[in-house]
Structure 1
Amino acid sequence: MSGGVIGTLGIVVLLVLLLARVPVAFAMFLVGFLGIWALNGWNAAMGLLGSETFTLASNPELVVIPLFILMGNVASASGMSRKLYDAAYAMIGQVRGGLASATVIGCGGFAALSGSSVASALTMGKVSLGEMDRFGYDDRLSTGVIAAGGTLGILIPPSTGFVIYAILTEQSIGRLFLAGVLPGLLLLAAFVLTITLLCWRRPELGPPGPSTTAAEKLRSILGAGPILVVVLVTIGGIYGGFFSPVEAAGVGAGMVVVYGFATGTLGLQAFWQASRESIVTTATVMLILIAAHVLNPFIALSQIPASVGAFLTALDLPPTATLLLILAVYMVLGCFLEGFAMLVLTLPIFFPVILQLGIDPIWFGVLVVLTLEMGLISPPVGLNVFIVKSVAPQVPLGRIFRGVLPFWFAMLVTLAILVAFPAISLILPTTMFG
């Protein structure tokens, strides 16, 4: 069989394994190893398995993953996420839909600490869902806003999605982090606007919450002050050139740990549990990355990227039309595949085409991560929807999916804006790196 046929069979087998819920890393290891064995022989497959594992695991840039994950887990364990929500709640909770908007803002703030959409949805779900239920919020809005707000975790830096994209495409993690700041804020604003419009049209969806005094507002804002300081120091330090992403991750993790112990909000048992969770999550991400570096050479050897590039070139479409076609493919795949699996499966195929078309790889990274976010709330897989379902088991799954629909369209509008105006994504990394 030719390389193209073997490559196509490998991708089909990989898709079948993923749809059968085989863990992403194991599915990629199996297909990549067997594919290289079929194309280049047993010795090549074994040699690649050993060399890629060591090379990737010894990459110092990957230290950002456990450090940022630890920062998010410690922030959650020490109650910092609750203080974020309380500050937003005090400021805007008294308007229609205010508790839902406070949830989105809390998700955005926690995203700047955790870099994980699942952690953001789970944490803010536990913090805010009871409050919205208590004040009579429609369960479609309350669950939908948590599922959608949680997606900010892989767009607002630090983002695990950006780290994986950077490793797979050999791009700068720092540039990608900065490129995600303004798009993340734009998406957060789009979510708040969506809530406002929904509650203006149907006031019963989000009744106003209790009013707070000026003293209560000030106290809540001061309570969230340490979190804002951590975010400003880490992201601002990267932008100002004071820290590399790895150093910023270490400083941020150290700050939240010191704050937790100094204020007595973090005990040894909670710190141990947060550390264990960080190790498990890091191991999962590292397995996926190592498996990707076994799968990618197989896809390259099969000549599938070259074939796809030739096909897209033969269509003679303008670069923007080709970009839109690729993003449409991501949206469709997002209905069935987990985000990291999509990155690993598609980037070896699409990224060479993007470079050939002269499309900025940092801008493309932001667009891809945003489409991955859309997949997190797209049926039938919609990982964040199932996370919210675990927090709110009494709400039918269908109602949660209906609740996220307006936010999915808000993400689509945001994606269109970012496609039309690349400078939104590129202005910060450009001003930093020149």
Structure 2
Amino acid sequence: MIFATPETGLIGLLLLFAMLLFGVPIGVSLGLVGIGGLVVALGAEAALVKAGVVVVETLTRYELGTLPLFMLMAHLFFSANASRDLFDAAAKMIGHRRGGLAYASIGGCAGFGSINGSSLATAATIGLVALPEMRQRGYSDALATGTVAAGGTLGQMLPPSGALIVYGIIAEQSIGKLFTATLIPGISQMLFYCFVVWLLVRWRPSIAPVGERASWAERGRALLRIADMLLLLAVVLGGIVLGWFSPSEASSIGTAGALLITAWRGRLNREVLFRAFSETLRTSGLIFLVIIGAIIFSVFISVTGLTDAVGNAVTAMDMGTIPTLLVVAGLLLLLGSVLDGLALMLLTTPILLPIVQNVGMSPIWFGIFVTRAMEIGFVHPPLGMNLYVIQGVAKDVPLNRIFRGVLPFLASDLIHLLLLILFPAMALWLPSIFGQ
């Protein structure tokens, strides 16, 4: 036990960071550093026993089934043309206004993000639909690409969020509470993006020409095409918030509903089912590997006492709640500029969660906070994965123009994150109301 020291934990943390920078998969990095560190700290036999217990306990957790079921629901909706229908409905309702297609893109990202739960998938899918429409109608490349890149980040901030499910498992927090807590931050983030578009098109009207007004009959048909999906989402999310059923039960209901809707639309066949099942299994397997690795790594960090040492050092500085949270936010944004979003969450949660709790903030709030910081990393240069996804969709748009287009939205993200620090009730009020 002489090697179970904070210094050992720090060395393990630096080694993990180096492996991630060299491109080693995050699940492999977390697992190798975690098991290797436990061997150094506890000895080989104790380390293997501890790692085995973690694997068994993780894989037998009931709530772990939530993630693949929600992912299967998303793949089925994708086969049913959910992204195109959601964007088309938003475009028909507000596309005639100046900047209307940009608003529609944000609305489409919010709608598809609440189905899909993935920022990258939301940006790519809505980008394929919205970018050609906006560019064809004379929208500037910067506004079009920046809107979709930023709007894609709504994928993790609106339930069912894959990031919040992962956080709930590794931090042992209620997924239902997390889903309820993220509603106000997610909706307010969407409104912030709409406000940015409103400011930009009034400052420079030429970047977003006025479009044609759709008739009420066309609007009605567009809304009718998404009514079934919206009803299912209302049942699934409303049931979680109101406590009618657990997130695991909600994911089952959502998947069954998605199967019925896909069949009703005539899109359900053997090929669609095979593709949906294979993509769900592949992605779920990778995420389960990451979760197991993260929990083993968290055990290693806990055994070394690094979390206590860091927490005591921060407490000794006596900065107060707001300054401490600002420092934590700065650290998350700094790491988020060079790390993948999920890597950021899994790397920092074991270290920063105890610090946040020591200054009086709840783990539920921190889950929303770290997810929000993680999402900013998706549009924060130089990594900014959403930016590269958008460039893959619009290959003729230079990357520096996409960077320039996303900057106003990035500024609104930083203001939104500051408000989350200053007003924690943004995340905590709804769970307290509904008694989650």
**Where on the TM-score scale, by shorter chain, does this alignment land: which range?**
over 0.9
Q: 8 Å contact 2:122–2:152 — kept in the other structure?
A: yes
Q: What is the distance in 1 between the residues matched to 2:336 and 2:423?
A: 24
Does residue 208 of structure 2 align to residue 215 of structure 1? no
Q: What is the distance in 2 between the residues matched to 1:278 and 1:148?
A: 25
The residue number in structure 2 matching 1:381 is 383
Deviates more, 1:255-264 or 1:356-365: 356-365
1:49 alignment partner AA: A
Q: 5 Å matches for 1:217-236?
A: 217-236=219-238
- Deviations 1:105-150 (CA, angstroms, capped at 9, x unpaired): 0000111111111111111011111111211211111111111111
Q: What is the distance in 1 between the residues matched to 2:241 and 2:27?
A: 33
Q: What is the distance in 2 between the residues matched to 1:207 and 1:19?
A: 43
Q: 5 Å matches for 1:284-299?
A: 284-299=286-301
- Corresponding residue SS for 1:317: coil
Q: What is the distance in 1 between the residues matched to 2:366 and 2:134?
A: 37
- Corresponding residue SS for 2:153: helix
The residue number in structure 1 matching 2:26 is 24
The residue number in structure 1 matching 2:425 is 423
Q: What is the distance in 1 between the residues matched to 2:161 and 2:312?
A: 33
Q: 5 Å matches for 1:145-164?
A: 145-164=147-166
Q: What is the distance in 2 between the residues matched to 1:2 and 1:34?
A: 12
Q: 5 Å matches for 1:115-264?
A: 115-264=117-266
Does residue 45 of structure 2 align to residue 46 of structure 1? no
Q: What is the distance in 1 between the residues matched to 2:138 and 2:127?
A: 16
Does residue 100 of structure 2 align to residue 98 of structure 1? yes
Q: 8 Å contact 1:79–1:265 — kept in the other structure?
A: no
The residue number in structure 2 matching 1:362 is 364
Does residue 14 of structure 2 align to residue 12 of structure 1? yes
Please report how far the alpha carbon of residue 2 of structure 1 lies from its aligned counterpart in structure 2 after TM superposition. Answer: 6.5
Q: 8 Å contact 2:70–2:254 — kept in the other structure?
A: yes
Q: 8 Å contact 1:305–1:348 — kept in the other structure?
A: yes
Distance 1:135 1:55, change over 3 A: same
Q: 8 Å contact 1:90–1:212 — kept in the other structure?
A: yes
Choose from 66, 75, 78 the match for 2:77: 75
Misfit runs of 4+, over 6 Å = none
Q: What is the distance in 2 between the residues matched to 1:257 and 1:101?
A: 30
The residue number in structure 1 matching 2:393 is 391
- Corresponding residue SS for 1:184: helix
Q: 8 Å contact 1:33–1:49 — kept in the other structure?
A: yes
Q: 8 Å contact 2:80–2:265 — kept in the other structure?
A: no
Distance 1:166 1:141, change over 3 A: same
Q: What is the distance in 2 between the residues matched to 1:212 and 1:371?
A: 38
Q: 8 Å contact 1:24–1:288 — kept in the other structure?
A: yes
The residue number in structure 1 matching 2:285 is 283
Choose from 65, 68, 72 the match for 1:66: 68
Q: 8 Å contact 1:326–1:350 — kept in the other structure?
A: yes
- Deviations 1:26-47 (CA, angstroms, capped at 9, x unpaired): 1111111111111111112221
Q: 8 Å contact 1:238–1:248 — kept in the other structure?
A: yes
2:80 alignment partner AA: S
Q: 8 Å contact 1:107–1:152 — kept in the other structure?
A: yes
Please report how far the alpha carbon of residue 171 of structure 1 lies from its aligned counterpart in structure 2 after TM superposition. Answer: 0.9
Choose from 86, 89, 92 the match for 2:88: 86
Q: 8 Å contact 1:77–1:271 — kept in the other structure?
A: no
Q: 8 Å contact 2:15–2:33 — kept in the other structure?
A: yes
Percent identity between matched residues is: 38
- Corresponding residue SS for 2:97: coil
Unaligned runs of 5+ in 1: none
Q: 8 Å contact 2:178–2:368 — kept in the other structure?
A: yes
Q: What is the distance in 2 between the residues matched to 1:195 and 1:431?
A: 32
1:254 alignment partner AA: A
Q: 8 Å contact 2:378–2:386 — kept in the other structure?
A: yes
- Corresponding residue SS for 1:126: helix
Q: What is the distance in 2 between the residues matched to 1:296 and 1:2?
A: 14
1:297 alignment partner AA: V
Please report how far the alpha carbon of residue 424 of structure 1 lies from its aligned counterpart in structure 2 after TM superposition. Answer: 2.2
1:391 alignment partner AA: V
Q: 8 Å contact 1:108–1:153 — kept in the other structure?
A: yes
Q: 8 Å contact 2:4–2:303 — kept in the other structure?
A: no
Q: 8 Å contact 2:92–2:219 — kept in the other structure?
A: yes
Q: What is the distance in 2 between the residues matched to 1:28 and 1:377?
A: 25
- Corresponding residue SS for 2:213: coil
The residue number in structure 2 matching 1:402 is 404
- Corresponding residue SS for 2:152: helix
Unaligned runs of 5+ in 2: none
Q: 5 Å matches for 1:104-115?
A: 104-115=106-117
Number of positions where the alignment pairs a residue of Structure 1 with one of Structure 2: 434
